[in-house]
A and B are shown apart, each in its own frame.
Chain A
C-alpha cells in the first residue's frame, strides 16, 4: 500500500481499541520472567556452549603476538577464535570499526578473541589466560584538541544557510555567542548485548537482542560473506537498546564464529564492563551557538556549529538538526564538523542529533531570553514558525509547540517562577524552575506485516518489528483488533523474526507509527480477502464484534476464515508527503530542581512534559516511553558522562558503579500530558513518534532550572556540583 495522500477517515478512527490506555499484552510474560530474552532460549537451543569475549587492552595499535596455549589447555575449552583463524571477514555496512579486531586494533576493548568452553566460568577463566603482546600507536582522544583538525563530513549535509547570517548577527541589537559541551554517553540499557548462535549446515540462526532485524541479517551475511537467505535472526524480546542495538555487534559475530569453530551452538553475552568501550556510544559535542535578536525578541540571526569526533569512516553527531527547524529567523547557518578520534565507535543513542543539540540550543534560548528581559516561554512563542524556516514554502504538517509550552506553564505553575535567579529558598535548598522546548523529527519508514485469521477467529500478526520495551506488541495488537473488529484477546502478535515480513524496526522513534501502519496495510489486504470470499464489496463491509457486516447480512469472521483460514500481507510505503510537509513532534519540558546551598548537589523535585505527537496509540505505553525518556534526560543533565583517559584512550568509568544513571530517588515526581491531536500526513494511523521526544530538551530544562535556582550558568554537561560549587553563595 502506498501512502501518498493525506489520510482520511479510516477504521482506526473508530478508536474502539486504539487510543486506549491498555496494559501491555506482553506484561505478564515479563513480570513472571517467562519472556525469553536473547540469552535464555534454552528450549530452542540444546547443548549450547559458552563464549567469552576478550577485549583489546589498548586503544590503538596492533597485536604483535598472541599466545593461546594456556587458554587452549584450560579446563572445558572447546575452541578459541581470533582474527588469525576466523577466516575472511568483511565489515557490515553499518559498522565503523571491525567487530573482531586484529592484528590492527581500532579501539579499546575491541573484541580480539572469543573463548568457547563447556561452562560460562570456564570460558571466562580461560580468556584471562590468553597473552597478547601489543604494539601501541599514538591516537587522538581529546575532542577539544582534535576540533582544530575537524573537517566537514562527507556523507551528510555539513552546512546549511539562508539569508546573510554574518551581517545580521553583527547588526543585531541583542546577541549571544556561547559555547556548550556535551559528553560521551552510554546507552546503559539493562540487558547486555547477547546472542545464541547455531549453525545447521551452512545456515545460521541467531537468537539475539537487536532492534533492526533486517539490518542485522544484512550485516551478518556481509561480514561472513554468506547469502542473506542463510541467516535468520530471532529477537522477540529486548531488554532495552536506546540505539545501542541498532546494529550487528560483537556478541552476534563472536557467537557465530564460536559456534562454527566449536561445531555446536554458542551463547555469548558481553559483560557489563565490556559494553562501554566495545559497543557504540553517543559522541561528545562542542557546540557554538550565536543568536541575534531585536529588542522585542524577534530572532534575526541564528547560527549553530557542532564539532564531534569518530573513528575514521564514522559520522558526526547531528547536533544542529533541530536548529534548522525549531525557531524562526531570516538569517541562519548551521555547520557540522567531524574530527578523527580513536575512541570507541560513536553512533546513535536515543534521539541522536536532537538530544545533545537541544542540550545546547535550549540553554542558549534561556540565556537569550534573559538578555532580552523576556520570559523564556514568551521568547520561544515569539519565534514560533509554522513553516520550515530554511524552506518557507514547506509547512509543518502540524505544529503545536506554543500550546505545549502554554499548557505546560499553566499546569506546572510557571507563573510562580522568580525571574531573578537565586531568589527562592526552601531551607538549605535553592529552588529553581526551568523550561525547554522538545522537538524531534517524525520519520516514516517502509514497514511490512502478515496477518492470518484462523477458523477460531484468532488473528495472528507477524512482522519482524521489535519491541524494545516500547509497547510494540500492544499497539500492533490494538491496530489489528481495530482493523478487523476483534477484541484484543483474539489477536496474537509475533515479532522480531527475520522469517516475518520486513518492518521499519525500532529506531529514531519511527517504530510505533510505521510498524502499525504496516499492520494496517496487511489488515486492509485481509479485509479484502474476507470481503471477496463472502462476495461483499470490501469498501462498504463493516468489521465489528467479530463479524463482518454488509447491509443486514452479517457473517462471523470465523466462518469467513473457513477451515483453511485467510491471510493478508502488505508493506506500507511512503510517497513524498514528508518532503512536502515537515513532520516533527513537539513538546514542552518543565523541571523544578533544588540545589543544596551547602554542597551544591542538584536534586530534581518535579517534572512535567506536554507532548504533541499525533495520535497517541496507547496513552499508557506512550506515557511510559515519555517518563523513561525524561529520566534519561535527567541523567544527561546531572550525571551521565563517559570519562576519557586522554593518555590511554578509553572510557574509564566502564561499569554501572562508575557510569551513573538516575535511580528512583533521583526521580520523585513526573507528569505527562499529551495534546489530543492527529496528523493525517504521517500515515493512516495519524500517529507520530514519542519515545525520543520525551528526552529532547529535558537536560536543558534541568540546566535552566539549576541556573534559576543558583544564578550560576553551567554550559558544560553534566551539571555536577564541582562545576558550580565555587560560585554558590558563601556560607555564613
Chain B
C-alpha cells in the first residue's frame, strides 16, 4: 500500500473542497472495496477524505412521493427499511443477495455504486489491464473470462460491474445526486451514470474528479411484483453469474434490468416493450447484440431461462 494522508470531512462542502485541493485524493466510505484495492496498489490515492461524518445517512421521503437515500446509508439499513421493503422490494432483495452481513453493515449506497470490477486480471498487478493501467492491454480477452461481459464490451475491456444494488436501482429508474467543489449539484439518471468501457475502461462513471455523491433518489413507487433473481455458483457470498431485476405489473408490462452481463446494469426500454409477448421475446431483444466469449457463452441461455423464471414467478 502506498502511504497516504487522511482527513475526516464534516460537511459535503468541506469534502469536495478537500478533494479539489488535493489532486490524488479519494473519498472513503465503508472502505470495503477501496481498502482492498489500496493494499494491492490497484488504487493509490495520496489522500483519503473520510465521508462517514457528512450526515448523509438518512432515508427521507421526497416531495414527489419517492425516497431520498443518503449516500452513506449502509446496505444493511437500506435493505431493512420498511418503506424500501414495501415499495421497492427489488432493491431490498438485491441488497440482501450481495456480499455478506458483515460487509453490508459497512458498505454504503454510494460506495456500492462505485465498486470496481472483480475481473481477476484487474486484481493481479502483474497482468496487463486497460482499466488498471490504460494502454497496457486486456489479459481477460483470450484468457479466463467466465465472469465477463456478453453485452456492451469493447476491444479494450470486457469487465462487468459487480453490483447487485445498482441493477435494482436501474430497474427502479433511480437518480444519483451529486455536488462539486464549486457548489454545483447535478441529478444523473442511473441509466447515464455508469459508462460502457469503450476505449477508456478506466473511466467507469460520468462523475468528474472530486465530485461527491450525496444521495440516490427513487421515484414514486410504481407497484407491481418485485423480483431479484441472482444466479451463482454457491448459495451465498458470490458475485452474480447473471442476475435479473424485474418489476412486473398486472397487465404484463414492466421493467427489467440485468446484472453480471455488462460494464453497467443492462436495461433496454425496447426489450421491455416486448414484455406482453413473453420472456423469450424480451430476452431475444436484450441479447440481440450479445458477443460472448467461449467461457461465458452459457450466460445467454442462462439469461433467457432466468428471465423466464422471474416473469413466471411474477405471474404467480
A residues near B (Cβ < 8 Å) are 57-58, 75, 121, 124-125, 128, 273, 428, 598-601, 603, 638-639, 643-645, 647-648, 652-655, 657-658, 660, 662-666, 720-722, 725-726, 731
Chain B, residues 217-237, CB within 8 Å of chain A (1/0): the string is 000000000000101111111
- The 10 A-B pairs at the shortest CB distance, nearest first, are namely A598-B309, A722-B298, A665-B235, A57-B126, A665-B236, A652-B144, A599-B231, A643-B144, A666-B235, A645-B143
Q: Do the beta carbons of A125 and B1 come within 8 Å of each other?
A: yes
Tell me if B27 is interfacial: C-beta within 8 Å of chain A: no
Q: Shortest Cβ distance from A598 into chain B, in angstroms?
A: 3
Q: Which among A121, A601, A664 has the greatest number of chain B C-beta atoms within 10 A?
A: A601
B184 within 8 A of A: no
Contact between chains at B237 and A599 (CB < 8 Å): no
**In the complex, A57 Cα to B40 Cα: how many Å?**
14
Q: Which of B10-18, B116-124, B258-266 contacts A (4 or more CB under 8 A)?
A: B116-124
Tell me, rounded to whole Å, the shortest Cβ–Cβ distance linking B314 to chain A: 13
Interface residues on B, range: 35 or more
B250 in the interface (beta carbon within 8 A): no
B255 CB within 8 Å of chain A: no
Smallest beta-carbon distance A106→chain B, Å: 16
A571 CB → nearest B CB, Å = 45
Q: CA separation between A205 and B302, bound complex, in Å?
A: 55
Contacts A57-B126, A603-B235, A725-B298 given; indicate if A643 touches B41 (C-beta within 8 A). no
Chain A residues whose CB sits within 8 angstroms of the CB of B233 once the complex forms: 601, 638-639, 660, 720-721
Q: Is the CB of B302 within 8 A of A658?
A: no
In contact, A643 and B146 (Cβ under 8 angstroms): yes
Pick the contact of B120: A75, A652, A725 (CB < 8 A): A652
Pairwise interchain contact B235-A124, C-beta atoms closer than 8 A: no
**Chain B residue at minimum C-beta to C-beta distance from A128:** B41
Those of B278-316 within 8 Å (CB) of chain A: 298, 301-302, 305-306, 308-309, 312
Roughly how many angstroms separate A666 CA and B127 CA in the complex, as a whole number?
33
Chain B, 1-41, CB within 8 A of any chain A CB? 1-3, 39-41
Tell me if B142 is interfacial: C-beta within 8 Å of chain A. yes
**CB-contacts of B83-99 with A (<8 A):** none
- Report whether B121 and A652 are in contact in the complex, using a CB–CB cutoff of 8 Å: yes
Q: How far is the CA of A722 from the CA of B39 in the complex (A)?
A: 34
Q: A660-B238, A720-B233, A726-B301 are in contact. Are A653 and B309 (CB under 8 A)?
A: no
In chain B, positions 114-145 with a C-beta closer than 8 Å to chain A are 118, 120-121, 123-127, 139, 142-144
Q: Closest residue of chain B to A277, judged by CB?
A: B124
Q: Main SS of the interface on chain A?
A: loop
Chain A residues with CB under 8 A of B125:
128
30 pairs across A/B with beta carbons < 8 Å? Answer: A121-B1, A125-B2, A128-B41, A273-B123, A598-B306, A599-B302, A599-B306, A600-B305, A638-B233, A639-B233, A643-B144, A645-B144, A648-B143, A652-B121, A653-B120, A655-B120, A657-B118, A658-B118, A660-B238, A663-B237, A666-B234, A666-B235, A720-B233, A721-B241, A721-B298, A721-B302, A722-B146, A722-B298, A722-B302, A725-B302
Instruction: Decide yes or no: A652 and B118 within 8 Å by CB, A428-B309, A721-B302 being known contacts.
Output: no
CA distance A654 to B144 in the complex (A): 12
Contacting pair A638 B234 (CB below 8 A)? yes
Partner of A598, one of B3, B232, B305: B305
Chain A contacts of B312 at CB under 8 A? Answer: 731
Bound: A273/B306 CA distance, A: 33
Contact of A660 among B2, B234, B309 (CB under 8 A): B234
- Cα distance A724–B147 in the bound complex, in angstroms: 17
Given A662-B234, A663-B235, A663-B236, verify A273-B124 contact (CB < 8 Å).
Answer: yes
A601 touching B118 by the CB < 8 A rule? no
Could you tell me the distance between the alpha carbons of A294 and B143 in the complex, rounded to whole angstroms? 47
Give the distance in Å from the alpha carbon of A653 to the alpha carbon of B147 in the complex.
11
Give the Cβ gap from A112 to chain B, nearest Cβ, in Å: 12
Residues of B within 8 A of A731 (CB): 305, 308-309, 312
Residues of chain A within 8 A (CB-CB) of B142 are 647
